[in-house]
Amino acid sequence: MNSSVGNKSAASDQAYNQIRKEIITGVLAEHERLTEQALAKRIGLSRTPVREAIKRLTHEGFIENESGYSTRVARFSVDEAEQVFQLRTMLEGYAIRRAATKASPRQIATLRALATRMSELTPPTEVAEFDEIAQANEEFHRTIAEAAKSQRLTALISVAVDVGLVARTYRLYSEKDLLRSCQHHHEMVDAIEARSAEWAESVMTSHLLAAQATAANSKIQAAESV
C-alpha cells in the first residue's frame, strides 16, 4: 500500500473513532452543531480525514445533515427509538432463528468467546473497558446476522439497525442492565448450540425489549428534566 494512502486511512480512522466516542459518551450532545474546522482543531487533524469521518458517521446514524449544510449530532425521539427496536426485534429475531440451524462450529465458538469476554469486563471499571464491551456487543450481533447465511437479511439489518442509537443506548446501561445483557448473550449461544430456533428467538426478543425500555426511559427522563 502507498504510504500516503495508508496515512490518510489512519487519520480518517482516528477522526472517526474520536468523534464516535465523544458522541457516545455525550461529550458531543444530541443535536449539537458540528463543523469540520472545529472538529479538526479539536482532534488535531486536517479537515480531510474529519470530512471522511463525518460521512461514515452520517451513514451509521451518529450524525445527521439538515438544510443549509448544517451538520449535527443525530437526535432521536421516543417514537424513532421504538421503531428501530421493533425492526431489530423482527429482523434479528428471524436472523437468530436461522443462525440456530445454520451457524458453523467456528461461529458458535466466536459467539461464546465474545459473550465470555463481555462477562469478564462487567461491570466495567474504566471507559476503555466499557468501549470494549460495546464493541464486543456489536460484533456479537453482527456474527449472528452472518451465521443466518442470508445476504438479503444482512442487507436489511444494516439499513434498519441504527448503529448510533444502539451504541448510545448501550452507554446508558446500569450495572444491573449490563449483567442482564451478559446473561442474555450466554443464553443465546446456548440456544444456538442446542439448535433451538424458538429458544434463540425468545431470548433475542427479551434482550431487545430490555434495550428498548432503557432507551425509552432515558428519553422520558431527559424530557422531564428540561
Peptide bond into 123 cis (omega under 30): yes
Burial class (CB in 10 A: 0-12, 13-18, 19+), 208: buried
User: Most confidently modeled of 21-25, 27-31, 51-55?
Assistant: 51-55
CA gap 93, 106 in Å, rounded: 21
For 5-21, the pLDDT digits (tens) are 566 788 999 999 889 87
Q: Does the pLDDT at position 175 exceed 70?
A: yes
Q: Does the pLDDT at position 220 exceed 50?
A: no
Percent of the chain with pLDDT over 70: 89
Mean pLDDT of the chain: 87
Per-residue model confidence (pLDDT) at position 4: 54
Of 165, 162, 146, which Cα lies nearest the Cα of 154? 146
Q: Does the pLDDT at position 149 exceed 70?
A: yes
User: Most confidently modeled of 13-17, 26-30, 155-159, 166-170?
Assistant: 13-17
34, 73 contact by CB (below 8 A): yes
215, 145 contact by CB (below 8 A): no
51, 153 contact by CB (below 8 A): no
Count of C-beta atoms within a 10 Å radius of residue 169: 23
**Between these two residues, 69 and 149, which has the higher pLDDT value?**
149
Q: Which residues contact 206 (CB under 8 A, 6 or more apart)?
A: 184
**Between these two residues, 61 and 95, which has the higher pLDDT value?**
95
Mean pLDDT of 57-85: 81
CA gap 53, 49 in Å, rounded: 6
- State pTM to two decimals: 0.73
CA gap 145, 53 in Å, rounded: 25
Q: Long-range pairs for 13-16 at CB < 8 Å and ≥24 separation?
A: 14/43, 14/45, 14/49, 15/39, 15/40, 15/43, 15/45, 15/49, 15/50, 15/52, 15/53, 16/52, 16/53, 16/56, 16/57
Of 148, 140, 143, 142, which Cα lies nearest the Cα of 184? 140
201, 101 contact by CB (below 8 A): no
